[in-house]
Amino acid sequence: MSIKRLILFGAVVVVLSMATVLAQRVVSGQTSLTSETVKDLPYTPVVTLNGSTLPWKMVDGTKEFHLTVEEITWEMAPGMVVKAWGYNGQTPGPTIEAVEGDRVRILVENKLPEPTAVHWHGVILPSGMDGVAGLTQWPIPPGDTFKYEFTLKQHGTQMYHSHGDEMVQIGLGAMGFFIIHPKRPTHKIDRDYAIFLNEWFVQPGTARPDPNVMTDFNIFTFNSRAFPGTAPLLARPGERVRVRLGHVGQDFHAIHMHGHSFTIVATDGGDIPETAQWMETTVAIGPGQTRDYEFIAIPGDWALHCHLRHHPMNAMGHDIPNVLGVNQAGVEEKIQALVPGYMAMGETGMHEHAEHAKHMAGPPNTLPMMGGQGPFGPIGMGGMFTVLKVHENAPRFATADDYTKQIQLPDDGGWYDNPPGTVAESINPDFGKQKIGAYVCPMHPEVRQSEPGSCPKCGMTLKPQKAEPAEEGDGNRQSESREPMGSQEHHEGMHHH
């Protein structure tokens, strides 16, 4: 069965809340930094969303880190688990954090079935420590451990990634952040977030990302998680927030954040002098680059996503025939005679897909084109999408682990409490109060009842159908019957609010 067919079946998986997502996070066995161990640090620890920070121990004045590159089981979002290659149980690998001037030793153990090497991308170091298999060192054979050791001469957002069979190893997730804090910080950062960008091709129904695919990706991730599996960024109004983006994939990305203009303060080349910094709302980032931006948090729930339209979208949205504006009414019935449960979609756009996503069984181990439930109905996004939640009561946290624990609580800050009169609303005074004539299944029109409920045949939420107003003309009725599915969500949103 082809992907094209599947999308028309409204294929998809259950959408869970972000809290549940985090509770199911696949964690590494390592002990991590705690509030106790970080309180003396001369910097604000970075929070790698859905990830962690690599612990170290001091050995003779050197910060010693351990990385194990291995095959891992990684949940990209609820309903989708892949066999990736990562470090210490994670992709991206745990973030290495150190301070300019530190001497660091990194022991890399190879548990992959083939040789590897680790390149410290953007870090200024002796040539022989640069980690390019064949060029600067012997490849690390399976089962062996290599020692890298150098002194950090710079600060900034750098990265690490495999430089031995890069095509396969990076393609399967072998990458991470190497963040070097300045010896003398110029200003205080209240929250410091790191987001690694990546693209994948995972054939629906399979668990192994295809590293041979170079251009036609179907899963786009922040820290190897796809929305609705991505953790939100939390902040309080007025806090100074830094976001660090890193990327060693194949595509270009345009990371857009709503509600703010932010300042690009650094690239992988280092700090940008204040006089040369620039403001943006969308930062372009290519393979091998990092970007740091900063802003003062403004209250609200703000989308943060890649602006390439197919990047905040999941697998089942790719490769779909264009049926926009095509009347599929006759087709649907004919195909249903052959294929029970067939559902024609897309005639009025794909909003309805977000609703079907909750109820329809799809192929195993993939993600619907879009998902996520907001306070006003389906959010209808996937892939490279998350939310910056700037709330007065946003939890404070000291480490990435703290962060994860805090937003596993039932209340991760919830949704923004909009001041009265500041939410876009219908100019129709009857909006949300229409007299309901019946509740009908959008897929099985024969299922019709006077009370709300779900369809006994497919489980979908029954849609309210307005009572036929006798005084209205045919023209109006026609427009009602063509009302796009999904309008009910907006009504529900009103009640919630």
| Positions in the binding site for Cu ion (CB under 5 A) | 253, 306, 308, 311
Mention every residue, 6+ apart, whose C-beta is less than 8 A from residue 32. 52, 53, 55, 399, 400, 401
The smaller minimum CB distance to Cu ion, of residues 284 and 409, is found at 284
Radius of gyration of the chain (CA): 25
Least gap, CB of 313 to Cu ion (angstroms): 10
The smaller minimum CB distance to Cu ion, of residues 124 and 254, is found at 254
The smaller minimum CB distance to Cu ion, of residues 313 and 458, is found at 313
What is the phi/psi pair of residue 32, to 5°?
A: -125, 175
The torsion of the CA quartet 52, 54, 55, 57, rounded to 10 degrees, works out to: -170
Least gap, CB of 310 to Cu ion (angstroms): 8
Rounded Cα–Cα distance for residues 201 and 27 (Å): 23
The smaller minimum CB distance to Cu ion, of residues 308 and 361, is found at 308
Least gap, CB of 420 to Cu ion (angstroms): 36
Least gap, CB of 311 to Cu ion (angstroms): 3
The smaller minimum CB distance to Cu ion, of residues 19 and 308, is found at 308
Least gap, CB of 188 to Cu ion (angstroms): 31
| Chain position carrying tokens 């529900």 | 492
Q: Which residue is nearest to Cu ion (CB)?
A: 306
| Chain position carrying tokens 């857009």 | 256
Give the bridge partners for 180, in sequence order. 98, 156
Burial track 37-68 (b if 16+ CB lie within 10 A, e otherwise): ebeeeebbbbbbbbbbbbbbeeeeeebbbbbb
Task: Identify the DSSP state of 411.
Answer: -
The smaller minimum CB distance to Cu ion, of residues 235 and 283, is found at 283
The smaller minimum CB distance to Cu ion, of residues 12 and 306, is found at 306
Least gap, CB of 381 to Cu ion (angstroms): 13
429 is written with which tokens?
A: 């005074």
Rounded Cα–Cα distance for residues 400 and 95 (Å): 10
Task: Identify the DSSP state of 275.
Answer: G
The smaller minimum CB distance to Cu ion, of residues 69 and 306, is found at 306
Least gap, CB of 384 to Cu ion (angstroms): 5
Rounded Cα–Cα distance for residues 414 and 374 (Å): 10
Least gap, CB of 252 to Cu ion (angstroms): 7
Element (H, E) at 493: helix 487-496
What is the phi/psi pair of residue 8, to 5°?
A: -70, -20
Rounded Cα–Cα distance for residues 182 and 214 (Å): 36
CA 364 to mean position of chain CA atoms: 20
Least gap, CB of 383 to Cu ion (angstroms): 8
**Strand, helix or coil for residue 209:** coil
The smaller minimum CB distance to Cu ion, of residues 222 and 302, is found at 222
